[in-house]
Amino acid sequence: MINLLYKSSYVFVLFYYAIIPLGYLTKWWVAIEKMKGNSTILVTGGAGYVGSHTVVELLKNNYSVIAIDNLVNCYADGNDKPESLKRVEKITGETVIFYNVDTRDKEALDKIFKTHKIDSVIHFAALKAVGESVRIPLTYYQNNIGGSSALFEVMAKNGVKNIVFSSSATVYGDPQFLPITEQHPTGQGCSNPYGKTKYFVEEILKDVCASDPEWKVVLLRYFNPVGAHESGLIGEDPSGIPNNLMPYISQVAVGRREKLQVFGSDYPTIDGTGVRDYIHITDLAIGHLKALERMYSASFKSWKAYNLGTGRGYSVLEMVKAFSEASGKQIKYEIVDRREGDIAECYADATLARIELGWTAARDVHAMCRDTWNWQKKNPKGFQSS
Ligand SMILES: NC(=O)c1ccc[n+]([C@@H]2O[C@H](COP(=O)([O-])OP(=O)(O)OC[C@H]3O[C@@H](n4cnc5c(N)ncnc54)[C@H](O)[C@@H]3O)[C@@H](O)[C@H]2O)c1
């Protein structure tokens, strides 16, 4: 009994004199990190797929985050804060400052810049459905280009001239060579209004840099983001019929859709189906932090574009197989005609990001499929199931 008392008093002493102070020290360290310059980031479209995963990584790395979103493509169910950001709070244990604001609303944006000392912006907010952009091009131009130029105006007015912009491999159009380097021509053969908005916004930012040397701009050209946070709390939650392969496959696996349609099996690829460069969403999110670090370095001037991809392409059927292996589910599929505007192969040369950002994709296709499945089976109806 006396022995036990001795032992528990040791535990008490250890807890009182070592663990509690360690907790305080950690909190101070976090606070000091947050006070460092260039650390408050305005994240537009922060409640979306890429935005929410990037907010997790920013918070984990002691950046302060102000997220804005107009909720056009995320689930909020009448709440003040979108479900994705509530889940981000669960993952990180941090509170996310959020404003329901549209990037086209200059007055509301200006208020945010006046309320918070913002150092940099990561600009995700955009409409992104290729097919829809063909049907309603003006809405896309208005939202993606109008919203971006309004944001840049308000940034300039408030002296905030650091921005990381979410661009896309679509700016390369139909590839003239593979793997695609950043030197590949852009804007030629962008076959849909969505892709054109990405190209135009890149051009606007280049002109802004040419007009004012204080601007620092990183253009991140994503290849095909897939997967979900390892917790399974956040992931891609498309409304309606998914446009992208992975959400479609996972909805078939979970029984929400009957079968996958594979568009074309006569492309000059390994098995006749289209080949894309898939990148895990967490790797992509980390790429944004690397871009910020690069932008803050003394040697960085004006603008620079980086490909974020793995540098390896996978065909549709290879992805179906990998997903079946990761999930243990058979994926029913049928081959149908090619889809207009689709290209045979597209994959990145990501050497520049490796050399200049110190970034490479660390997660393989198995991790992409495993994490997609983990998210899908925990949230069969996406964020709505909560
Ligand atoms: N996911 C991809 O496959 C992919 C590939 C390449 C590039 N991108 C780009 O990355 C960015 C993020 O994509 P995502 O997949 O996270 O899309 P997403 O739709 O999940 O996220 C975009 C968010 O922006 C919000 N939004 C849209 N217009 C807005 C506006 N005017 N004001 C405020 N908020 C607005 C939406 O509500 C949504 O929450 C987009 O710019 C997209 O074009 C995505």
| pLDDT tens for each residue of 143-198 | 999 999 999 999 999 999 999 999 999 999 999 999 999 999 999 988 899 999 99
Domain edges within the chain: 22-385
Instruction: Report residue 86 CA to chain centroid gap.
Output: 17
Contacts of 88 (CB under 8 A, 6+ apart): 52, 55, 56, 59, 96, 234
The span from the CA of 85 to the CA of 82, in Å, is 6
pLDDT value for 246: 95
Q: Counting atoms of ligand 1 from 1, which one is nearest the CA of 237?
A: 20
Residue % of the chain over a pLDDT of 90: 84
Residue with tokens 């505007």: 341
What is the Cβ-side half-sphere exposure of residue 310, based on CA atoms within 13 angstroms? 21
The span from the CA of 373 to the CA of 364, in Å, is 14
Question: Residue of the nearest CA to atom 28 in ligand 1?
Answer: 126
47: pLDDT strictly greater than 90: yes
Question: Residue of the nearest CA to atom 20 in ligand 1?
Answer: 48
How far away, in angstroms, is 41 Cα from ligand 1 center?
Answer: 17
Residue to mutate (ligand 1; options 73, 96, 142, 167; most atoms within 8 A of CB): 73
Q: Counting atoms of ligand 1 from 1, which one is nearest the CA of 51?
A: 16
How far away, in angstroms, is 50 Cα from ligand 1 center?
Answer: 7
pLDDT tens-place string over residues 347-378: 999 999 999 999 999 999 999 999 999 999 99
**Which of 49, 172, 194, 347 is flagged as catalytic?**
194
Q: Tell whether omega for the bond before 82 is within 30 degrees of 0, i.e. cis.
A: no
Burial class of residue 5 (count of CB atoms within 10 Å of its CB; 0-12, 13-18, 19+):
exposed
How far away, in angstroms, is 126 Cα from ligand 1 center?
Answer: 4
Q: Counting atoms of ligand 1 from 1, which one is nearest the CA of 50?
A: 16
The sign of the torsion formed by the CA atoms of 235, 239, 240, 245 equals negative
How far away, in angstroms, is 290 Cα from ligand 1 center?
Answer: 20
The sign of the torsion formed by the CA atoms of 82, 110, 304, 296 equals negative
How far away, in angstroms, is 273 Cα from ligand 1 center?
Answer: 27
Question: Residue of the nearest CA to atom 9 in ligand 1?
Answer: 166
Q: Are 237 and 49 in contact (CB under 8 A)?
A: yes
pLDDT tens-place string over residues 213-229: 999 999 999 999 999 99
183: three-class secondary structure by DSSP: coil
4: pLDDT strictly greater than 70: no
What is the homologous superfamily of the domain 22-385 according to CATH? NAD(P)-binding Rossmann-like Domain (3.40.50.720)
Residue to mutate (ligand 1; options 44, 52, 68, 69; most atoms within 8 A of CB): 69
Residue to mutate (ligand 1; options 43, 86, 122, 124; most atoms within 8 A of CB): 124
The span from the CA of 37 to the CA of 150, in Å, is 25
pLDDT tens-place string over residues 232-278: 999 999 888 898 999 999 999 999 999 999 999 999 999 999 999 99
Tell me, yes or no, if 194 is annotated catalytic.
Answer: yes
How far away, in angstroms, is 137 Cα from ligand 1 center?
Answer: 16
- Ligand 1 pocket, residues with Cβ under 6 angstroms: 44-45, 47-51, 69-74, 102-104, 124-128, 143, 147, 166, 168, 222, 225
| Range of weakest confidence among 30-44, 102-116, 245-259, 370-384 | 30-44
How far away, in angstroms, is 128 Cα from ligand 1 center?
Answer: 6
Question: Residue of the nearest CA to atom 13 in ligand 1?
Answer: 50
Over residues 196-219, mean pLDDT:
98
